[in-house]
Chain A
Amino acid sequence: MTMAFWILAVLLVASAMFVITAKKPVHSVVGLLAHFFFLAITYFMLSAEFLAVIQLIVYSGAILMLFVFVIALLSSGVAPFSVGPDRLPKIAAPATLIVAVLLAFVAYSISREPAVFTPALHGIAAGPVGTAGVFGSVADFGHALFTVNLLPFEITAFILMVAVIGVILLAGDHAPYVPTRRRARIVERDMREAIVRAGEE
């Protein structure tokens, strides 16, 4: 189990590094897909079986597909999509320093106190993943979600609805707040005419 954890840790960090270093966004999406897959395996190891499946379905299936569609939509147009150099040369040194300091802080603080836990105080006992009635099983999660945490669950629905409305308002066909270049030109011309008219009067 420890061995599996370290293999997964190496794979997770490597795929995350690939996500942020890849030249093209499509390659980043592939790296992120691998990252989410390894993360789902880690969730299984933490006996969070429902969330592991949700990770694969929602993240890999929905969110990453959204990224892929946007990349396809944008790069089928005019200019090459990845414009300009990254900011890496300018601030690589300070960024590395800050990250090193923060990581050293994390390492120090987790090495200070050996974590001693008294589990099984709040919930039900752990067991092999996939068996019914153990900690993290779908029944356990669903019971917690629909009894104690029903209000957060309802708020989730509200958040998603607001997001959908926001996306339609932003990027929809008759979006009222989108200054397309043509519309911006029209607005500019109208304003110039208004200024001229004001000057004449």
Chain B
Amino acid sequence: MHPDLLPVALTNYVGLASVIFFIGVAGVVLRRNPLIMLMSIELMWNAANLLFLAFARAWLNNAGHIFAFLVITVAAAEAAIGLAIVVVVFRSRANVDVDEIALMKG
């Protein structure tokens, strides 16, 4: 096999990343604990990253690596701010049930 070719077919990576992404979606939709919801969002970020790297490898174009790097950075910022919001909400309400936090519902 030529070394430039992807050893595993790209479609397998697409399927795997989709499954992980939908597991993350299910976590956000079904769980009420904001920390587990944030972790499910991390799962979704990483599924997208896996796709970036798989496509980068398939085309031997490292723009996908740069995108994955940016995604990791933004994910870190998102996690920091999300956790700060959780801390603030918990401090003011002693309660982290996301269904009870409806102040901005209008």
Same assembly = yes
Residues of the A chain whose Cβ atoms lie less than 8 Å from the Cβ of B74? 159
Q: Does A201 contact B (CB under 8 A)?
A: no
Residues of the B chain whose Cβ atoms lie less than 8 Å from the Cβ of A22? 36
How many Å from the CB of B1 to the closest CB on chain A?
Answer: 9
With both beta carbons as reference points, the residue of chain A lying nearest to B66 in the complex is identified as A149
Q: Does A187 contact B (CB under 8 A)?
A: no
The answer to whether A63 touches B95, judged by C-beta atoms less than 8 angstroms apart, is no
Residues of the A chain whose Cβ atoms lie less than 8 Å from the Cβ of B80? 66, 163-164, 167
How many Å from the CB of B15 to the closest CB on chain A?
Answer: 6
How many chain A residues touch B (CB < 8 A): the figure is 94
A16-31 CB contacts (< 8 Å) to partner B: 16-17, 19-20, 22, 25, 28-29
The answer to whether B60 touches A121, judged by C-beta atoms less than 8 angstroms apart, is yes
The answer to whether A39 touches B46, judged by C-beta atoms less than 8 angstroms apart, is yes
How many Å from the CB of A62 to the closest CB on chain B?
Answer: 7
Given contacts A42-B50, A51-B68, A110-B11, contact A127 B3 (CB under 8 A): yes
Q: How far is the CA of A48 from the CA of B27 in the complex (A)?
A: 28
Residues of the B chain whose Cβ atoms lie less than 8 Å from the Cβ of A91? 29-30
The answer to whether A59 touches B8, judged by C-beta atoms less than 8 angstroms apart, is no
Q: Does A70 contact B (CB under 8 A)?
A: yes
The answer to whether A117 touches B10, judged by C-beta atoms less than 8 angstroms apart, is yes
Residues of the B chain whose Cβ atoms lie less than 8 Å from the Cβ of A166? 81, 84
The answer to whether A16 touches B20, judged by C-beta atoms less than 8 angstroms apart, is yes
Q: How far is the CA of A51 from the CA of B10 in the complex (A)?
A: 19
Given contacts A25-B36, A181-B92, contact A86 B30 (CB under 8 A): yes
The answer to whether A67 touches B35, judged by C-beta atoms less than 8 angstroms apart, is yes
| Number of interchain pairs (Cβ within 8 Å) | 251
Residues of the B chain whose Cβ atoms lie less than 8 Å from the Cβ of A181? 92-93
B22-81 CB contacts (< 8 Å) to partner A: 22-27, 29-33, 35-36, 38-40, 42-43, 46, 49-50, 53-54, 56-63, 65-66, 68-70, 72-77, 79-81
The answer to whether A84 touches B32, judged by C-beta atoms less than 8 angstroms apart, is yes
Q: How far is the CA of A101 from the CA of B81 in the complex (A)?
A: 33
A84-124 CB contacts (< 8 Å) to partner B: 84-88, 91-92, 95, 99, 102-103, 106-107, 110-111, 115, 117, 119-124
Residues of B within 8 A of A (CB): 3-12, 14-16, 18-20, 22-27, 29-33, 35-36, 38-40, 42-43, 46, 49-50, 53-54, 56-63, 65-66, 68-70, 72-77, 79-81, 83-88, 90-97, 99
Q: A16-B24, A66-B83, A127-B3 are in contact. List 19 more A-B contacts (CB 8 A).
A: A2-B8, A12-B16, A16-B43, A20-B39, A39-B50, A46-B57, A48-B57, A67-B83, A73-B87, A83-B96, A84-B99, A102-B22, A103-B19, A110-B11, A117-B58, A120-B4, A126-B4, A135-B60, A140-B62
Q: Provide a sorted-by-A list of 6 A–B residue pairs whose CB atoms are within 8 angstroms.
A: A5-B8, A45-B7, A70-B35, A81-B33, A136-B56, A145-B69
